[in-house]
Amino acid sequence: MPGIFVSYRRDDAAGWAGRLSADLREGLRGAAVFMDIDAIPPGVPYDDYIAQAVGSCDVLIALIGPRWLTVTDKAGRRRLDDPSDLTRLEILAALQRNIRVIPALVGGAEMPPADELPQALRPLARRQAYELADHRWNEDCARLVRVLKPIVGGRSRSSRALAGVGLLLALLVSGYGAKQWLDHRQEPDVSPTPLPTSSATPGPSPFATPTPAPAPISTPSSAPVPAPVAPVVPTAAPTVAPTSPPTPRPTASPTPDGSNQPRIQLGAEQLDFGAGPIGGKPVPKRFSIKNLTDTPLVLKYEVRGAQAKEFRPIASDCDSALQGRMSLPVGGCYIGFGFVPADVGRRGAEVLVVDEREVYRVALSGTGVAPEPQADERAALKLGAKCTRTSATTYEVEVFGAARGPADAMLAVEIQMRMSKAPPKLISQDHTCGAWNSVSEGRSICARGNVPTAWANWRYRSSFVTKDVPATAIAFVWSDNQKQRERAEVPLNCAGKP
């Protein structure tokens, strides 16, 4: 059977792989589409097993996503540089066997240059790449199917033709062997006479024989020949008239009954959740499951892939507890999922719906974006300060106010001198942060740390020695994730201590 092997990294393009495989199965009916090698037998060298699996296919599609080239292992090494990396072994097996390799670019990825590939995979850079864009996915897949049809279709037709020729040759050889066996068993001094039949007069045999007379062939209408001259001849080797050579009779394929028909039908082959904010509210999508029988069915389902935790079940009218097991009624039901990305960029996974006879797949995909800060969480500052001179070179400064910011907001305080940029000699300091968390990291004194309250009332006190004069108190609130920064300052008028 002609086949297509879809090679991909689960950490890079799992969602696209499931979606592409479903579209290829739909557009190339009769061709096998392989997406995973999950059942390598124990004790079998996995590189040999992969080479055999890839070598049985006509085409290998190498899905290249945004992280295909840069994914690393736990030690921080690039996985593509590991000779035992499965993705590398799959592509290398296809290149070494001269199997057609199509680099398919997804998620806005670009074709890696040859100098960034391992030496063994550099021939991949010379293969013409094909882009599968999300905004025109259906059109791109349709064009890819048109490219693949002549490849997998041509092999299918030639395989069937070769099988037919082989069967015909086998029948001819078996007929010739039966004839030789008959000649060998005949008594040398007996000249048998052909038996009469009620139908047409038999023609001469098309095969050359060492005796001038044709061998007798037993037929259902023939009279029995006295022993020991006539052997029992298999009915599968009839005499073939030269004007009508035997045609192999095809074996009838079993007609599928109801037990071989699909029992369920999914309402979608892929779900695209669009854009979702990192850590935000779930973006919901769902698909239906139709029961094609007249009895309830027991199904299991689960989400798989590197980003499976970002696509969680959130609702189902057949599995209210969302435990991954359902009793599908005759009327069918639905499963809903929520997309909450953990990082920016394209994310993907797949849902496996398992019937006792088949496994159905639904590709899940979405794009993670940085969340927009809420209006009540934008960085803001309110600031006040007072300064007291306790001796000729000693000062006490108190800075206070209110700060607001997003979940990762930090607050820092700085005292600037009038003349010198060098910090004064610190005697003591302390601070309070209200609802926020207290920290001591350089000038930083408070951190929101995901506490629910966006506003915090804070206070900072310090005592120090300087020959200069304190001039300005400055406070900062910033957020690295939201790229926000707010600054406020207030002048210091240091009065002598009464």
pLDDT per residue over 441-477, tens digit each?
A: 778 999 988 777 778 899 999 999 998 889 999 999 9
Report the sign of the C-alpha dihedral through residues 449, 451, 453, 458, in that order.
Answer: negative
pLDDT grade for 2, boundaries at 50, 70 and 90: low
pTM for this model (two decimals) = 0.37
Beta bridge pairs of residue 72: 78
Enter the DSSP assignment of 72. B
- What percentage of the chain reaches a pLDDT higher than 70? 74
pLDDT at 250 over 50: no
Residue in 41, 151, 144, 59 with CA at minimum distance from that of residue 97: 59
First to last CA, the chain: 98
pLDDT at 392 over 60: yes
Return the beta strands (E) in 321-436 as ranges: 325-328, 333-339, 345-354, 359-369, 380-389, 394-404, 410-417, 425-432
pLDDT at 345 over 70: yes
What is the C-alpha to C-alpha distance for residues 400 and 461, in angstroms, rounded to an integer? 9
345-354 sheet: strands from edge to edge: 270-277, 359-369, 345-354, 297-304, 325-328
Whose structure tokens read 């259902």?
A: 220
Between residues 413 and 495, the one the model is more confident about: 413
pLDDT the model gives residue 376: 58
In the chain, the domains with their CATH numbers are 3-132 (3.40.50.10140), 259-369 (2.60.40.10), 375-496 (2.60.40)
pLDDT the model gives residue 225: 45
| In contact, 164 and 248? CB cutoff 8 Å | yes
HSE-CB for 373 with a 13 A CA cutoff: 21
Report the chain's mean pLDDT, rounded to a whole number. Answer: 78
What is the C-alpha to C-alpha distance for residues 231 and 217, in angstroms, rounded to an integer? 9
